[in-house]
């Protein structure tokens, strides 16, 4: 699949540092952009990372700590100055709209587009978005307040038809859609041509799971099992496990353990505590358990 | 005076650019820090510019456009994480508290310090802050909504006493404070020693005036007359005067004209429209009228 990538706008945690902004990511696929969390200065990072806003219609907020949502009003305000017209959907805990709507009414009068808050339950898994090729669903995390992870999962793709076989069996055009979806072909003579003779398997479907903020919790494994890419917070080194527990965060070792147990393809870790000036020990710790791990940095792009 | 400086945290206007954040400045004098405006990402800029927050107790908000106040909640939230205890005062239009208080109550529960909103009238000049050595007052600007400038003015300082003269006239210690404030000294014999024999003039008092956002308005001149340093917005080049008028902003030429007419010592211009990638023409334009002009840049420090 072309053009499928995750761009990190903010890789830090609650306290911004000289190099790490508060949390935000943009997942681009199928010519659409989806924002995950929107900490303060997300709009600044979008300018600095040259992220297009024109195809951004959905923002998913994992939980209502400020470092995950303080950038929303500024972003919406600036989108208004760009004369955007497309509706914008903010998927979040129901408490967000009553907090932000008065600010939007005051600071973003005469917006050229509509903002819809789409509340979802953070105690269960819910489908938040679906189109022809993608499903976005939430699943519960365990944090100091209601928090959710997100799973972006491409739907199973169409099988690739073999043009020479279609020609050989004189398959009419109107049958091709069904064949791409796995149907056999029956000739005028009543002979069944198995689908496997006419097609090759579809390209693999891509999936991305985002887990922040949360304690180590194996209950999330069924949701993230086998994903192409997993982002999991790793706020602390395992030597600071007691701090991780007290603040309901995860250590790098724990994030890697989840990745290994969920059999994911690749792990990204981030949301590092501002105490770690040098974050390489966090990477080393995670890689000791799950080698295919990378650190996120502000501005980094990961192709899926 | 030592340690008196203005630090620019954000030099841009409503739309952040790759190099210019939304508006914020910190004026440091007499071991205290005063923030002027607090656009989004101000807390990030404070970290990146190594601005200490420990002596910051007053924030002055010029007007309620988002690029001048969207950083407040994030800044307060982070100050809370640093276990600050000193009260924080936010001087602003009265509409700000009802907008932000619900956010503070939700996102900044259990703050270790108190936040007081201090409303002021934006239609007249008011004293907003006063201590032993400094007065901060507001004065009305003319913008698309109520907007105020701020004048930071050191009080007249004490005269410098001449120790050898005090000794010669045997001036008792209890008289020295009055002499520093200009009193003559009367000897036991009833002879009047004029103050000018005992002292030299005080060090000059420093003043800083901040004017953003506003149209060109000569009515502000009496407030800013003769200041040590004037910051005046210069959102547009004069060739875009019609845009300046339509959005109620000032051109670089106009800002310089105000500086010249108010006979200030030095002019800073900023709040440039994001359209100007190269801002040097704005500087050139202002300097053609008022040579002692500088552009502000994010992170720049100006000693007073």
Give the pLDDT score at B1: 39
User: Residue B2 pLDDT > 70, yes or no?
Assistant: no
Chain B residues near residue A70 by CB distance under 8 angstroms:
73-74, 77, 107
Taking the CA of residue B220 and the nearest CA in chain A, the distance in Å comes to 26
Counting residues of chain B whose pLDDT is more than 90, the rounded percentage is: 96
Looking at the structure, tell me whether residues B55 and B190 fall in a common domain: no
Q: Of A200, A231, A251, which residue constitutes the final position of a domain?
A: A200
Looking at the structure, tell me whether residues A11 and A91 fall in a common domain: yes
Structural domain range at position B173: 160-200
Looking at the structure, tell me whether residues A223 and A288 fall in a common domain: yes
Per DSSP, chain B holds a count of helices (H) and strands (E) of 10, 18
Looking at the structure, tell me whether residues A96 and A153 fall in a common domain: yes
Chain B residues near residue A109 by CB distance under 8 angstroms:
none
Closest CA to A35 of A104, A89, A96: A89
Looking at the structure, tell me whether residues A229 and A109 fall in a common domain: yes
Give the pLDDT score at B77: 96
- State pLDDT tens for residues B190-226: 999 999 999 999 999 999 999 999 999 999 999 999 9
| B260 alpha carbon, distance to own chain's centre | 19
- State pLDDT tens for residues B61-88: 999 999 999 999 999 999 999 889 999 9
Secondary structure element (H or E) that encloses residue A253, with its range: helix A252-261
Tell me whether residue B272 is exposed, middle or buried, using C-beta atoms within 10 angstroms of its C-beta: 0 to 12, 13 to 18, 19 or more: buried
**Mean pLDDT in order along chain A per 10 residues (304 residues):** 84 95 96 96 95 91 98 96 94 98 95 97 97 96 98 95 94 94 93 95 95 98 98 98 97 98 98 96 98 98 95
Looking at the structure, tell me whether residues B170 and B294 fall in a common domain: no
Looking at the structure, tell me whether residues B193 and B88 fall in a common domain: no
Say whether residue A41 is in contact with chain B using an 8 A CB cutoff. yes
- State pLDDT tens for residues B122-171: 999 999 999 999 999 999 999 999 999 999 999 999 999 999 999 999 99
pLDDT bin (cut points 50, 70, 90) of residue B25 is: very high
- Look at the alpha carbons of B106, B110, B112, B114 in this order and tell me if their dihedral is positive or negative: positive
Grouping H, G, I as helix, E, B as strand and the rest as coil, residue A304 is: coil
Q: What is the ipTM of this complex?
A: 0.92
A64/B106 CB distance under 8 A: yes
Taking the CA of residue B117 and the nearest CA in chain A, the distance in Å comes to 17
Give the pLDDT score at B54: 81
pLDDT bin (cut points 50, 70, 90) of residue B240 is: very high
A74/B70 CB distance under 8 A: yes
Say whether residue B47 is in contact with chain A using an 8 A CB cutoff. yes
Output the pTM of the full model. 0.93
A66/B99 CB distance under 8 A: no
Give the pLDDT score at A1: 39
Chain A residues near residue B48 by CB distance under 8 angstroms:
18
Is the CB of residue B128 less than 8 Å from the CB of residue B177?
A: no
Mean of the per-residue pLDDT values of chain B: 96
Say whether residue A102 is in contact with chain B using an 8 A CB cutoff. yes
Name B90's Cβ contacts closer than 8 Å, sequence gap at least 6: B59, B61, B72, B96, B115, B116, B117, B118
Give the pLDDT score at B83: 85
- State pLDDT tens for residues B186-200: 999 999 999 999 999
Say whether residue B18 is in contact with chain A using an 8 A CB cutoff. yes
Say whether residue B145 is in contact with chain A using an 8 A CB cutoff. no
Active site residue A67: yes
Say whether residue B17 is in contact with chain A using an 8 A CB cutoff. yes
Looking at the structure, tell me whether residues A185 and A211 fall in a common domain: no
Domain count, chain A: 2
Looking at the structure, tell me whether residues A122 and A102 fall in a common domain: yes
Looking at the structure, tell me whether residues A121 and A52 fall in a common domain: yes
**CATH code (residue A267):** 3.60.15.10
Looking at the structure, tell me whether residues B150 and B175 fall in a common domain: no
Give the pLDDT score at B52: 84
CA distances from A289 to A74, A257, A261, A266 (A): 40, 6, 10, 12
Residue of A70, A82, A105, A298 for testing the chain B interface, max B β-carbons within 10 Å: A70
B16/A47 CB distance under 8 A: yes
Say whether residue B48 is in contact with chain A using an 8 A CB cutoff. yes
Looking at the structure, tell me whether residues B68 and B215 fall in a common domain: yes
Nearest CA in chain B to A67: B74
């Amino acid at each position: 699949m072309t053009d499928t990538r995750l761009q990190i706008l903010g890789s830090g945690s609650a306290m911004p540092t000289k190099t790490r902004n508060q949390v935000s990511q943009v997942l681009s696929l199928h010519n659409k952009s989806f924002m995950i969390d929107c900490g303060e200065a997300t709009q600044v990072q979008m300018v600095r990372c040259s992220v297009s806003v024109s195809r951004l219609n959905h923002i998913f907020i994992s939980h209502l700590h400020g470092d995950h949502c303080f950038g929303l009003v500024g972003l919406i305000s600036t989108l208004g100055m760009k004369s955007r017209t497309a509706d914008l959907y903010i998927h979040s805990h129901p408490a967000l709209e009553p907090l932000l709507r008065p600010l939007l009414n005051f600071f973003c009068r005469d917006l050229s587009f509509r903002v819809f808050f789409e509340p979802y339950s953070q105690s269960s898994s819910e489908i938040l978005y679906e189109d022809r090729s993608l499903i976005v669903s939430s699943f519960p995390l365990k944090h100091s307040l209601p928090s959710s992870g997100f799973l972006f999962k491409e739907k199973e793709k169409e099988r690739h038809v073999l043009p020479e076989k279609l020609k050989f069996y004189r398959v009419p055009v109107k049958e091709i859609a069904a064949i791409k979806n796995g149907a056999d072909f029956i000739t005028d003579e009543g002979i069944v041509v198995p689908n496997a003779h006419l097609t090759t398997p579809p390209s693999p479907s891509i999936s991305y799971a985002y887990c922040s903020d949360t304690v180590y919790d194996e209950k999330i494994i069924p949701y993230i099992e086998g994903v192409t890419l997993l982002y999991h917070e790793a706020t602390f080194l395992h030597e600071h496990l007691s701090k991780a527990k007290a603040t309901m965060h995860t250590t790098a070792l724990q994030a890697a353990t989840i990745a290994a147990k969920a059999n994911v393809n690749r792990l990204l870790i981030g949301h590092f505590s501002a105490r770690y000036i040098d974050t390489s020990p966090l990477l080393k710790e995670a890689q000791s358990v799950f080698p295919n791990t990378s650190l996120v940095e502000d501005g980094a792009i990961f192709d899926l």
